[in-house]
């Protein structure tokens, strides 16, 4: 069975918040989760070579090519997760990769410089 999980970036406190047990979509004293101050990232259902869960917004390194600084994102055109700034073939290859092929090296909120290093 596919596990559906999310995490939220708290832009005020600059920290990632796991949402184990669910999360609230808003309250009177805070911005709505999923808004610009609290973006929500979904778990892809995949883990990297170290067993780390891969979420939308993560930045990965691909093996054996050693390409790095590749962002994981949701692509509405293929209704699935894929690589940022890649071709359709690359998106489809994401689904074929095994855990030994990639490693999470950061995410777009805590490590934006990893995208710029390309």
pLDDT in tens, the chain (118 residues): 566 889 999 998 999 988 765 555 554 344 456 677 889 999 988 899 999 999 999 999 988 777 788 889 887 877 778 777 666 566 556 666 667 788 999 999 999 999 865 5
Residue 84 neighbours by CB distance under 10 Å:
16
* Fold designation for 6-116: SH3 type barrels. (2.30.30)
Confidence (pLDDT) at 1: 57
């Amino acid at each position: 069975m596919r596990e559906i999980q999310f995490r939220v970036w708290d832009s005020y406190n600059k920290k990632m918040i796991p949402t184990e047990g669910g999360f609230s979509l808003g309250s009177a004293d805070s911005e709505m989760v999923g808004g610009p101050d609290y973006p929500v990232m979904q778990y892809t259902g995949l883990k990297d070579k170290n067993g780390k869960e891969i979420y939308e917004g993560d930045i990965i390194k691909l093996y054996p090519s050693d390409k790095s600084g590749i962002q994981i994102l949701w692509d509405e055109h293929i209704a699935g997760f894929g690589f940022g700034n890649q071709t359709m073939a690359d998106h489809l290859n994401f689904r074929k990769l095994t855990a030994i092929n990639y490693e999470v090296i950061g995410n777009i909120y805590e490590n934006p410089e990893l995208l710029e290093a390309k």
